[in-house]
Structure formats: structure tokens, C-alpha cells
Chains A and B, each alone.
Chain A
Amino acid sequence: MAVEQPTPAPVPVQGDQTRIHNIGYRSYDGPRLGRAYATRSLYSQSLRGAYGLGRSAKSKVLPMLLFVVMCVPAAIMIAVTVATKLKDLPVDYTRYAIFLQAVISLYIASQAPQAVSRDLRFKTVPLYFSRPIETADYVRAKYAALASALFVLTATPLLVLYVGALLAKLDFADQTTAFAQGLVSVTLLSLLFAGIGLVIASMTPRRGFGIAAVIAVMTISYGAVSTLQAIAYTQDATGSVPWIGLFSPVTLIDGLQTAFLGASSSFPGGVGPGHGEGAVYVLVVLGLIAACYGLLMRRYRKVGL
């Protein structure tokens, strides 16, 4: 571990300035691109990290596998549509993510802790905050990166469906409208899920706890809400079904898109919220996204150095 020592010049020299080193230190006079650039760098590093890029081979396995699992059903549906010359896709664009919500929950549970718990656990956070970026930049970069990763995960199969539908010569206008509605839906889903996942993961430096907690919140809430909705439906309390749906992330997105994005509801009996109840859904979704952002800001103001 010897440090290379500077070699003095062989001839007598005057003062320090004329000393010659065998490896001179070069100072940096180039551009310093500042906060915005640093935030973007953190964003791209985190987004790549969410798919294991720039990390070990082992950490690529799960996110890539889940990505494939998300896309394969779409490819199969297209194959079926083309082969059997169906008049419409077997599944709506908006319903696709709801069908595969378990895969999405698993993805967010595995990648949200990766995005934030590592920095907390290995105390890397102070190194970020001793640089030009501020707390808000860090939170925004991480939030945007995970939401983008989720968007890639949920929008890619929709793109596969859309391209396949056009190749199968289904109606262009119908397909484009439905595809656009699907994209709006998965955008909201990405923002909501990423926020919830990050808030939970940022509470603990332990990755394992983070994963378990995110899975618990996502699946238990969905399971509980679905069960309650089914009970309410069989008890003929159909009116309360949409209100129960406000209490889990998956049913929130389901209800919102049923009310406004032309989706058919997966609630029991297809009883989705109407426009009035739907407005509450929109408010709750946007409120939750804002609350997640606020909580993350609060959390990181405390972490500091």
C-alpha cells in the first residue's frame, strides 16, 4: 500500500515551486455542471440500478425476470389475437396492470429498498449532501427514478399490445384512445406505487425489512379490501363497495380508471365508482402522491450528515 513518493529533482533547486514530481498532481480546470446535472446523474444511476444495470449480475436477475413476466402475457395475447383473428384484444389496456398487480408489487418491494435503504445502511447519504445537491434534489431524483422504472415495467407490455393490435389491423382510433388511457393509468400507478414503496423503504436501513414491509402493505391491503368488497357485495351493500376500494393502492387505481379512463372495474360485480365517487378517488390518489413526497422530504431533512 506504499504511496508513491515524489522524487526530488537531481539538481539543487530553489524553493518548493521548482520541485519535480514523477507523478504530478493535475488540477481540474474543466466545467463544473452543478446541481441540476448532479440530480440528473443521480436519477439515471438510480433508474439503471432499478434494473440491476451497473450492479452485480446477481442483482440483475429479479428485476429482469419480473420485466419478462410482465411482457410475456402481452406477447401471448397478441399471438392469440393474430392467430384467431379476434375483433378486439382479449384484455383492456387499463386492466392489464390490475391483472398483474402481484408482479408489480413484487417489483416495487424488491427495488424500492435497493434505491434508498442502501444509502442509509452504508451511510452514503452524507456524501451526497456534502455535494451541491440539496435534500429536495435527492428525494426528487430517487422518486423520479423509481417511478420511471415502474413506468417502464407497466407501459412496455401496453406498448407490445398496442403495436400487436395495429399489426392485427384492429381499429386504429379505438386502439389509440384505449392505449392513451392505459398510459395515463400506469403513469398514476407508477407515481403512487413508487411513493408508497419509497416512504416505507426509507424508514429502515435494513433491506430485508423494507422488502417485507412493502409486500405486506401492498398485498395485505389489496387482499383485505377485495375480501371486504366481496362480503359487502354478497350482503347486498353494493353502495359501499366503491368506498372500500379507497383503502388499497391497487383498488385506488382500479376505481380511478373505471370512473374516468373507460376501464371496466374488477370490483365484485363490476360495481365501479361513478363520477362523483371517482372525484374522491382522484383526490385520494393525488393526495397520497403528494403526502409520500412530503414524508420523504421530512425523512431526509432529518438524515442529513
Chain B
Amino acid sequence: MARVTTVDDVTVIATESLSKRFPRVTALDRLSVAVGPGVTGLVGANGAGKSTLIKILLGLSPASEGRAEVLGLDVATKGPAIRERVGYMPEHDCLPPDVSATEFVVHMARMSGLPPTAARERTADTLRHVGLYEERYRPIGGYSTGMKQRVKLAQALVHDPQLVFLDEPTNGLDPVGRDEMLGLIRRIHTDFGISVLVTSHLLGELERTCDHVIVVDGGKLLRSSSTTDFTQITTTLAIEVTDTDDHPDGTRAVRDALHARGVDTHDNSGLPGAGHILLLTAPGEETYDLVRDVVAELGLGLVRMEQRRHHIAEVFRDSDEQRKEAVGHGG
């Protein structure tokens, strides 16, 4: 694959204090982000400005203020050139029911500028890659939601773009379909060499798939960092231990022992399993070792020690704390 690039090679998307104001709402408020190659998640609640950002990046809607570049091309002046190199999968239904997936994707390939023969070849390839086989000759009207999502993805990939925008690709899918779609999105980068900007209102599902996550709220940037940063900083450990005759309340014994060594546990009363499960923040590997040693010294059985994923709410809470800190430092 000729197009695989290293992380700091190029910037795929760059915005500089990008703002978009409508008469009544500010959809984007001085947003400055830089996105490198790979899979990038764009997370935010509904109405956070995700779709507005994609529209501006496709060169379809002028920004009120600031500037943005996609693949090194200015969105204000190079819209058609950007749209030739970029794929877009909308959030809503966009498929006519009375044509087959093959006919539809061939047409869309030609609309992206592919000559007729190449359009047919690329359509066959792309539909196979997204997992549509014999059913691709049947009218789309009879497809399941999962299959329709695959057709939508195929039309975004058929012209072999350098970057795809996927707007809520897991919407409406059942858990299995969701996992398959997320796996597919991962492969778009690892196997196809295409960078991905994927939006979702669920941070949890993007953490598993993305190299980098951008969180926006009310058109403002809340946080932009690599997924490893997220997990390193925010890993929460859940621990459950057995009780023994020496320690009738094993959980309490572990908590006290950990406190004695300077590790605080979270107050998790009110959560399911409270009293049996200890939650603590693990800044690094040594915490895992410490927990293991403490439990072993007490002679208890370690039933579970697992990472708890954070939800979008916790990111908001964290960033609020950071903001307060920043204000505090500023005096």
C-alpha cells in the first residue's frame, strides 16, 4: 500500500478558529483542531456542531469566521477538488429503494469522476470489502438496516478517497451490527489506507476504534487527544475480592490496605455492586502490581480487576475540572 503514512507525516484536517453562526445559533465557536492520518472520532451530543463541521469541511457551507484546510486544500476555494478526494457517508437514509446496490454505487462512482469501466470494477471490489455479496443485485428496498449502512459506506469509498467522513455510521444498528461496523471502520484505515473522521455521540464506541478523539460541545472544542492519552489518564480500575475467615469483609480490608499505601479509592456508593466493588484510578502499570501484591498479602482471592470505560459525561466533568484549574493558575 503506497499510501500508508506515518502519524506526523501530514495534517489531514486543520481548522483555525473556525466559527459558523446562524441567525439564532452559533453552531461552531472558534474551533481549532488538527487531525492527522488514521481514524479520528468526533464526539459530541446532538446539535454539538458535528454535521456543521463536516459541511464546512466539504466546502459546501462557508464559515462565518476562521479557516479550514482538508488534505492541504482550503475549503473556501477548493471545494470541488476536496470533494473529489473525500468520501461522505450521511447520517440519514439516502438510498433509493428501487435500484440494486450495484447500479446505485456504479452511478455514484461515475458522479465522483470514475470512467465507466473503472466505476464498475471499483463497485464490485468495494461492495465485497464492505461485506455485500449476492444481495448486491437485489433492489435496496429489501435490505436490512445493517446492509443499507454497508451500501452507504460503499458509496463513500468507491472512488478510493484519501479521507472519508462517516456521520453516525452505527446509528440504528443492533450490538452485533455495531461491532461489525466499527471493525469495518478500523479496516478502512489499516487495510485500505484511507483516513477516517467518524462522528458519534457515544465516546465509548469511538475509543475502541479511533486513534484520536475530538470532543466538541456547543460548537466549542472540549478536548482533542489521542485515544491512548484518554485511556492512560482516565483508566479506572474495578476490583472485586473474596472474603476469608481472617478478613470477613475483604473489600474493606483491601481498601484500608490501599489507603495505607497512599492509593485512594473512589466513592462508588450508589453504583450497582457498591460495597463489593472498589473503584480506583490507575495512573500506570505500578498500580496494577500494587493491587495484586496487596490482595496477595491479605490472602484474598482476586475475583475481578478490570478497566472501566469512561463515558462522555466524565470527559465533560474532567474538562470542567481542567478549566477550573486553568482559571486558578491564571490568577
Contacts and interface: CB of A to CB of B under 8 A. Distances in A.
Given A33-B114, A123-B90, A129-B60, A1 B1 contact: no
A131 B108 CA distance: 9
A3 B153 CA distance: 13
Nearest to A128: B111
B160 to A, nearest CB: 4
B115 A130 contact: no
A41 B107 CA distance: 8
B122 A304 contact: no
Interface of A: 1-4, 6, 16-17, 21, 23, 25-28, 30-35, 37-38, 41-42, 45, 54-56, 59, 118-119, 122-124, 126-134, 304-305
B96 A124 contact: yes
A185 to B, nearest CB: 34
Contact of A17 (B4, B83, B108, B183): B4
Interface centre among B54, B88, B112, B118, by most A CB within 10 Å? Answer: B112
Given A27-B1, A132-B83, A32 B193 contact: no
B242 to A, nearest CB: 39
Contact of A30 (B90, B107, B114): B114
Interface stretch (B123-131, B223-231, B274-282): B123-131
Contacts of A25: 1, 125, 129, 191-193
Interface of B: 1-4, 51, 54-55, 58, 60-61, 80-81, 83-84, 86-88, 90, 92-99, 103, 107-108, 110-115, 118, 122, 125, 128-131, 146-147, 150, 155, 159-160, 177, 180, 183-184, 187, 190-193
B1 A21 contact: no
Contact of B94 (A21, A26, A123): A123
A38 B129 contact: no
Nearest to B135: A1
B96 A305 contact: no
A30 B125 CA distance: 15
B113 A33 contact: yes
B160 A27 contact: yes
B80 A35 contact: yes
Contacts of B155: 127
A54 B115 contact: no
A31 B110 CA distance: 11
B183 A131 contact: no
Contacts of B96: 118-119, 122, 124
Q: Give the top 5 A-B pairs by smallest Cβ distance, nearest first.
A: A28-B160, A130-B88, A32-B113, A3-B131, A41-B110
13 contacts: A25-B1, A27-B160, A32-B113, A32-B159, A33-B115, A41-B107, A41-B110, A56-B98, A119-B96, A127-B108, A130-B88, A132-B112, A133-B111
B159 A28 contact: yes
Given A16-B190, A25-B1, A122-B93, A1 B180 contact: yes
A305 B60 contact: yes
A196 to B, nearest CB: 25
A126 B112 contact: no
B118 A30 contact: yes
A4 B160 CA distance: 19
Contacts of B81: 132
B83 A30 contact: no
B2 A27 contact: yes
A55 B190 contact: no
Given A1-B147, A3-B183, A131 B107 contact: no
A56 B159 CA distance: 26
Interface centre among A33, A55, A124, A131, by most B CB within 10 Å? Answer: A131
Contacts of A6: 187, 191
Contacts of B108: 127, 131
